[in-house]
Amino acid sequence: MAAHQDKRPSEERKHKSTQNDPRTPQVQWGRAWEVDWFSLASILFLLAFAPLIVYYFIMSCDQYQCSLIDPLIELLTGNKHLSDIWNKTPMLTYRAAGIYTLWVTFQVFLYVFIPDFCHKFLPGYVGGVQEGAITPAGVVNKYEINGLQAWIITHVLWFANAYYFHWFSPTIIFDNWIPLLWCANILGYAVSTFAMIKSYFFPTNAKDCKFTGNFFYDYMMGIEFNPRIGKWFDFKLFFNGRPGIVAWTLINLSYAAKQQELYDQVTNSMILVNVLQGIYVLDFFWNEAWYLKTIDICHDHFGWYLGWGDCVWLPYLYTLQGLYLVYHPVQLCTANAIGILMLGLIGYYIFRMTNHQKDLFRRTNGNCKIWGKKPEYIECSYMSVDGTKYYSKLMTSGFWGWARHFNYTGDLMGSLAYCLTCGFEHILPYFYIVYMTILLIHRCIRDEHRCFSKYGKDWKRYTAAVPYRLIPGIF
């Protein structure tokens, strides 16, 4: 098969013959990542502290009006003990456990049992059965893309309840926020641990497992590439989008409902958060098929980072602005509101257009127009684990000629806009932009490490042609 696909000149075949040499960086693509001391230290830090960080933020809002400093001062001055804070923290309740179980079960039901019908009547929407990217073992997985449908059904039911059925209060999420945190943690740890055990005893595809030999690294970053139960229940697709991202907009709606209940009004800042983050979430589901080609799905293995991160970190920390606005209802002046809206929309435009340009370029194999011209690119090659040689292209036109990750720049502009809606009284709402900056810079470096190990010298040619990562001329 390798010989059949390898139709390039002898110089490139010589390149292929070095593939089993461990000194050749390309052999590391998608597997055998070396666990250096920095990665290990970061992993241990995150495993130990990420759950505490989430608890600290949510507790600060619940007990200290979203001040991150006051609990520290009280603890350091001896005014309060850890036990005082813990004793005031709402515990797990049967009600929260019931709500959460129903929620996750409903999302599993929508994912597994309702095939997509949106693509049949929404022009331009790509849903139904779609193929993912090729894995290092040379497998191409099929996915049922029905996230938009799940989002629509869930939200129609939410509004039907709020305005017609009144089965439960629209503030239900806010009212049970900390008890639900314990439920999300239980699911996050359970699914990560299950994924680890599964990878040893019944992996979906043994050739796509990555064992580094370091227990903590394997638990955190995952061993199995695409763990599945049955033919269709894909852990990464499910946990990446549902239940966390479907919940994102509902959580914000619940915060808006709480503002209405407490202050008899919904502030323009809360509306901005709901609108800007709503666009981001809808964009995610509209482009769910495209997300099959992003790092989360096509490069990351499934472990605690994705499992716990999607269940706890994302719904709790990505929604801090709305939570903050329940405690501090900021009413922005019109000029500020418009300025923030523009920043959010321009950021979104850059994020979407950059992603779209790469998608169009890759789908048409470069036979398209970017900003009215035929795109320029660098030809590159790589090998799968069985030694088969593949060819690819790295575009150097459009936003991809400005910087190597201009999509992240747009994402960061949008993230900053969410934070600015909250004014400048507290630092808590700004956690998101700080976190996203660290996440995306780290992701950039991780991706470039991977691309270098995949494309070798071709990647170097690309970085010489596009020397900046996020901001042209600066970084």
Which residues make up the interface to ligand NDP (CB under 6 A)? Answer: 294-295, 351, 355, 358, 392, 394-395, 400, 405, 407-408, 411, 443, 447, 451, 454
Minimum CB distance to ligand NDP smaller for 169 or for 294: 294
- Shortest distance, position 334 Cβ to ligand NDP, whole Å: 29
- Shortest distance, position 473 Cβ to ligand NDP, whole Å: 18
- Shortest distance, position 418 Cβ to ligand NDP, whole Å: 11
Minimum CB distance to ligand NDP smaller for 85 or for 292: 292
Minimum CB distance to ligand NDP smaller for 60 or for 384: 384
- Shortest distance, position 108 Cβ to ligand NDP, whole Å: 23
- Shortest distance, position 357 Cβ to ligand NDP, whole Å: 9
Of the candidates 256, 230, 408, 266, the one whose C-alpha atom is nearest the C-alpha of residue 323 is 256
Counted residue by residue, the chain has a size of 475
- Shortest distance, position 358 Cβ to ligand NDP, whole Å: 5
What whole-number distance in Å separates Cα of residue 460 and Cα of residue 467? Answer: 10
Minimum CB distance to ligand NDP smaller for 324 or for 382: 382
Minimum CB distance to ligand NDP smaller for 31 or for 405: 405
What whole-number distance in Å separates Cα of residue 275 and Cα of residue 297? Answer: 26
Of the candidates 273, 270, 285, the one whose C-alpha atom is nearest the C-alpha of residue 154 is 285
3-state secondary structure of 28: helix
Minimum CB distance to ligand NDP smaller for 60 or for 357: 357
Which residue lies nearest ligand NDP, judged by its C-beta?
Answer: 294
Contacting residues for 372 by C-beta, under 8 A, at least 6 apart: none
Minimum CB distance to ligand NDP smaller for 330 or for 466: 466
Minimum CB distance to ligand NDP smaller for 305 or for 400: 400
- Shortest distance, position 436 Cβ to ligand NDP, whole Å: 7
Minimum CB distance to ligand NDP smaller for 355 or for 381: 355
Helical segments of 28-68, H only: 37-64
DSSP-assigned beta bridge partners for residue 140: 134
- Shortest distance, position 420 Cβ to ligand NDP, whole Å: 17
- Shortest distance, position 321 Cβ to ligand NDP, whole Å: 14
- Burial 145-177, CB ≥16 within 10 A → b, else e: bbbbbbbbebbeebeeebeeeeeeebbbbbbbb
Number of other CB atoms surrounding residue 355 within 10 Å: 21
- Shortest distance, position 456 Cβ to ligand NDP, whole Å: 13
Of the candidates 155, 174, 190, the one whose C-alpha atom is nearest the C-alpha of residue 96 is 174
Compute the Cα dihedral for 65, 66, 69, 75 and give only its sign: positive
What whole-number distance in Å separates Cα of residue 454 and Cα of residue 431? Answer: 34
* Residue 411: both structure tokens together: 């994402």
What whole-number distance in Å separates Cα of residue 256 and Cα of residue 259? Answer: 5
Minimum CB distance to ligand NDP smaller for 24 or for 161: 24
- Shortest distance, position 398 Cβ to ligand NDP, whole Å: 9
What whole-number distance in Å separates Cα of residue 410 and Cα of residue 345? Answer: 9
Q: What angle (nearest 5°) sits at the alpha carbon of residue 244, between those of residues 254 and 103?
A: 70
What whole-number distance in Å separates Cα of residue 128 and Cα of residue 213? Answer: 38
Of the candidates 1, 19, 64, 137, the one whose C-alpha atom is nearest the C-alpha of residue 381 is 19
- Shortest distance, position 345 Cβ to ligand NDP, whole Å: 16
Minimum CB distance to ligand NDP smaller for 258 or for 389: 389
Q: Which helix (H) or strand (E) holds 394?
A: strand 389-395
For 35, left (φ over 0), alpha (ψ -120 to 50), or beta?
Answer: beta
Q: Which helix (H) or strand (E) holds 381?
A: strand 377-383
Minimum CB distance to ligand NDP smaller for 225 or for 408: 408
Q: Which DSSP string corresponds to 446-459?
A: HHHHHHHHHHTHHH
